Amino acid sequence: MTAPAGVHAATLTDNCLTRNDWVCWEYVATRSDVLLAETREHVTITVSAVLIGVLVAVPLAVLAYRVRGARPLTLGVATALYTIPSLALFALLLPLFGLSAATVVTGLVLYSLTILVRNLLAGLDAVDEEVRDAARGMGFGPGRMLWRVEMPLALPAAFAGLRVATVSTVALTTVGTVVGFGGLGDLLTRGLRADFRAEVLTASVLCVVLAVAFDLLLLAVQRALTPWQRGRP
């Protein structure tokens, strides 16, 4: 960090900010309001994208599972969307949503679909046929079997995909800085441009902390919803 105009370097307080250190608690203390605001934005965008992605992925996966002819089309479109570079995808969405958080959320939802749909389909396909036969013997129809038998048994695979999609969304949210809604990505970009090391490292660490926190939270929810899986390797 260079001295402000008109101020001799020797008159500045010698601390981690003036030395431009990577690890600087002074930066955290003096920029806590900015860090909290950007973290809240990052969490809001991530949670919104993941929740909408789940709401879209579940019916798509059920459709692909029930209607075999729909499976190649559903998986093909989801995979094709995932291959589009993030910057290009956000650029394609700009005419629809403009410079807004909706552009970022929509792009992240589209990216999450291939992971969520594939894992939920894998879980549904893995349900033992003997379990289905037992459910039919108990009078379960297709709808009741899906929601009372097949979906619960597909939860472990579905949650595995959800955890991957969530961690990926935390990382991809930073790219939203190109439209001004990147959460911690805004700090990363600004820090890199200004060679502000403490800002770059702090924003990076917070991204990692968010990813780990989301993953542990989803793991706890999965364990609560799938008690029969406890104790398995």
204 within domain boundaries: yes
Residues of the domain holding 114: 38-224
Q: Does the pLDDT value for residue 13 go beyond 80?
A: no
pLDDT band at 1 (very low <50, low <70, confident <90, very high): very low
At 157 the pLDDT is: 92
- Location of structure tokens 């260079």: 2
Helix then strand then coil, in percent of the chain rounded to 5, is 80, 0, 20
Which CATH number characterizes residue 94's domain? 1.10.3720.10
188 within domain boundaries: yes
14 within domain boundaries: no
In terms of pLDDT, which residue wins out, 201 or 68? 201
42 within domain boundaries: yes
CA neighbor of 208 nearest in space, from 197, 198, 219, 216: 216
At 121 the pLDDT is: 93
pLDDT band at 132 (very low <50, low <70, confident <90, very high): confident
Q: Does the pLDDT value for residue 117 go beyond 50?
A: yes
Quick one: what percent of the chain has pLDDT higher than 70? 92
Domain count, the chain: 1
7 within domain boundaries: no
A 10 A CB-CB count for 54 gives 19
33 within domain boundaries: no
29 within domain boundaries: no
Question: What does the CA dihedral 122, 70, 117, 110 come to, rounded to 10 degrees?
Answer: 160
226 to each of 115, 152, 221, how far by Cα in Å? 20, 8, 9
> CB-based contacts of 129: which residues, under 8 Å, 6+ apart?
none
pLDDT in tens, 119-130: 999 999 888 888
177 within domain boundaries: yes
- For residues 159-163, average pLDDT: 94
